[in-house]
Amino acid sequence: MKLLLISNSTNAGEEYLRYPLPAIQEFLQGVSEVVFVPYAAVTFSYAAYEKKVQDRLGEIGIRVRSVHRAKDPRKMIREAQAICVGGGNTFALTKKMQEQGLMKAILTKIKAGTPYVGWSAGSNVCCPTICTTNDMPIVEPASFKAIGAIPFQINPHYLDANPEGHAGETREQRILEYIEANPRRWVVGLREGCMLRYEEEKLELIGPRPMRIFRKGRPITEVQAGDDLSFLYNK
């Protein structure tokens, strides 16, 4: 499999998809066209999302074709050179992907070696479930099951901060609740500006910030770019 799982599309003060573009270009070397899944968009149209991604990927010579235009989205996935799944609301994305049978179609395709790029919600749906998303369940999918290309959970946009005067749960506390209920699952807190690349059976952290690691019964730890992450594939 070839996976590029990005925490966030946009760093503060930067243009959309600007910071991950060099990594995307390197990852998609030799690809001229991607099939894009825009279904995480809620407050703007799928066509607008397609254009937004096309405007950026066009800079590196890649054409973007959105599945929302296809009569048979699964066929479009089966014929894709590469697949991109954008961020937004994870529940909206999951519901539509389940309705169109895209979870299984994408898993089959990426297991055959087709490159997959996801950011935010697009990274969430590569996990076994969407249970470590930060999003509100604005719609109800058939289940929380996702593509399952990786055996661990990602929490994108991971934050350490607890704002002054805020008495609610921190991100860490919410993840600790998840691993209490799911003790066999690893969870990684992927901070903004960072991404995970999986290729040639090697998982690599890319970015300037460490990644936070959670597992029931183990101390919370952090890993840096270049560290061995093979343990995330051990149950």
227 is catalytic: no
- State which residues form the domain around 182: 3-233
Report how many domains make up the chain.
1
CATH code where residue 144 lies? 3.40.50.880
b/e map 40-66, b = 16+ CB within 10 Å? bbeeeebeebbebbbebbeeeebebbb
157 is catalytic: yes
pLDDT over threshold 70, residue 125: yes
- Between strands 63-66 and 195-199, the pairing is unpaired
pTM of the model: 0.95
Residue 72 CA to residue 68 CA, distance in Å, equals 9
* Tokens 């999302």 found at: 49
7 is catalytic: no
Q: How many Cβ atoms sit within 10 Å of the Cβ of residue 134? A: 15
Specify the pLDDT at position 235: 61
Specify the pLDDT at position 89: 98
Specify the pLDDT at position 163: 66
| From 135, 143, 160, 166, active-site residue | 135
Specify the pLDDT at position 161: 73
Average pLDDT over the chain reads 95
For the segment 207-224, the average pLDDT, to the nearest whole number, is 96
Q: Model confidence at 78, in pLDDT bands (50, 70, 90)?
A: very high
Q: Model confidence at 167, in pLDDT bands (50, 70, 90)?
A: low
| From 157, 160, 166, 230, active-site residue | 157
| From 9, 66, 120, 123, active-site residue | 120
